[in-house]
Amino acid sequence: MHHSITGQYLARFRRTADGADTPRGLLPLTGAQRRFLLVRSLDPQGRPDVVPLFFAFPRGTVDLARLRAAAGYLAALHPALRARPEVVRGTPVQRLAEADVPAVRVEAAPGEDASAALRRALGDWRADGSPLRLFLASDDAPVGDVPADDTSSTGAGPSSEILAIALDHTACDGQSLSRVIEELTDAYAAALGPRDVPPASADQEADAYREAVLLQLEAESRAGAPAALGYWGERLRDVRDAVPSPGPLPPGALPSGAAALRLPAGTAPLPFPDLLGACAAAARALYGEGTHPLGYPWGGRPAAARPVLGCFLNTVVFPATAAAAGPDAHAALSTAWWDDLDRADTPFDEVVRAARTAGAPWSGRLAGLLTVEDAHRAPALRLGAVTGREVYVDGRPVRAPFAVSVSQGSELLVRMAWDRTVLDDNVAGDAFGELTGALRARLTAPAPFA
């Protein structure tokens, strides 16, 4: 009888919760959350995966005390924003805690600008605190907007301050990020705080969140059936660990390099297989021939679940190969991707085990990551009468050797970051050229799937 990793975890959690003094205070973890905690435990510095958004405001327009109260309102309402991960009798769980969201002003040290101050604050993130944190830094130095012609070098403007809204990835996915921005705007406007959440509403949200996570785990357990594992084993049997081992960081260098480019978006968004194909071109430029595992987030809440905040996604693996160019190769890539989506709920740890069982000499380390955002759905952060402008703070550590983010709206914003302990800047720059060259070719193609 097949026993999925997720099914075994779900059984252990239920036994743990049944034996707990306060079982309602314990919550299970989705497969993605367990993966993030595993990656954190394996990191030499114990770093969590942190997802920050940065917004520029005119100096003096952000009321930090009011903002902290508004963030506390969100945390008091949404369990994912006040839960703390821990291990109980060998089982990873989340435990509900009081809503306590820090909102701090980060003073720049001598020689620092706002970007450096925020990088330092995010780098000092302690894993045992609130999953939602706010940081505000100010100076007159430019920070990372992206011009139309090339890389990220224009500034937020003089007399600006930069607000970082940062979440532990165990508490959020893309859908949750958008809601946090929307609800933070509303709570700030209404001057709400954590005491404004009725206890009955907090209890209802906790029940809804617990139900949603259990539904997610049941779906993940079903997706780990032998047929799906057989598919992934065959699909990934040629995947190899071709990524160079980390080396020392050059003295004085930031942990990651970055490049960005805006492109005309065309009349319709680029299909996802086009973006995967472009990332595959970058991987071949970085690692040479072979089959390189790229990861991308996919998924959402189970159909029967209520729309709670949290982390309901899976990292799907795409085997990037040195396929020939042309219409036939593009059609084959698209067909394979659609087949992958039929098994996209199979948890990442199950997929790695299936690949290794099929003979792939693969540790589970990804060669690159791709995330895609619909810019039309990105909410604006409005604090009082002022709307913040999203900016970018580069140079923060990245989990993969390279990570590509694509925002599709009236134009195509393509950003790539790379780990400087693994990849040389010049080599990474060449790979970014291959990436954007492939995207330009698809943008000028006669039809999306021609």
Q: Answer whether residue 449 shows pLDDT above 50.
A: no
Higher local confidence (pLDDT), 149 or 73? 73
Q: Is the pLDDT of residue 353 over 90?
A: yes
Q: Is 125 exposed, middle or buried (0-12, 13-18, 19+ CB in 10 A)?
A: middle
pTM given for the model: 0.91
What is the pLDDT averaged over residues 291-306? 93
Residue 31's pLDDT is what? 92
Domains of the chain: 5-217 (3.30.559.10), 223-443 (3.30.559.30)
The percent of residues in the chain predicted with pLDDT above 90, rounded, is 71
Q: What's the pLDDT tens digit per position in 18-36?
A: 876 666 788 999 999 999 9
In the chain the first and final C-alpha atoms are separated, in Å, by: 45
Q: For 189-215, what is the mean pLDDT?
A: 96
Model pLDDT for residues 61-114, shown as the tens digit of each residue: 999 999 999 999 999 999 999 999 988 888 999 999 999 999 999 999 888 999
Give the DSSP letter string of 302-336: -TTS----S---EEEEEEE--PPPSHHHHHHHHHH
Q: How many Cβ atoms are within 10 Å of 44's Cβ, its own excluded?
A: 5
Please determine, for residue 295, whether its predicted confidence score (pLDDT) is greater than 90: yes
Judge residue 62's burial from the number of C-beta atoms within 10 Å of its C-beta, 0-12 exposed, 13-18 middle, 19 or more buried: buried
Q: Out of 110-119, 145-154, 243-252, pick the least confident.
A: 145-154
Residue 402 scores a pLDDT above 70 = yes
Q: What is the pLDDT of residues 309-342, one digit of tens each?
A: 999 999 999 999 865 455 677 788 999 999 999 9
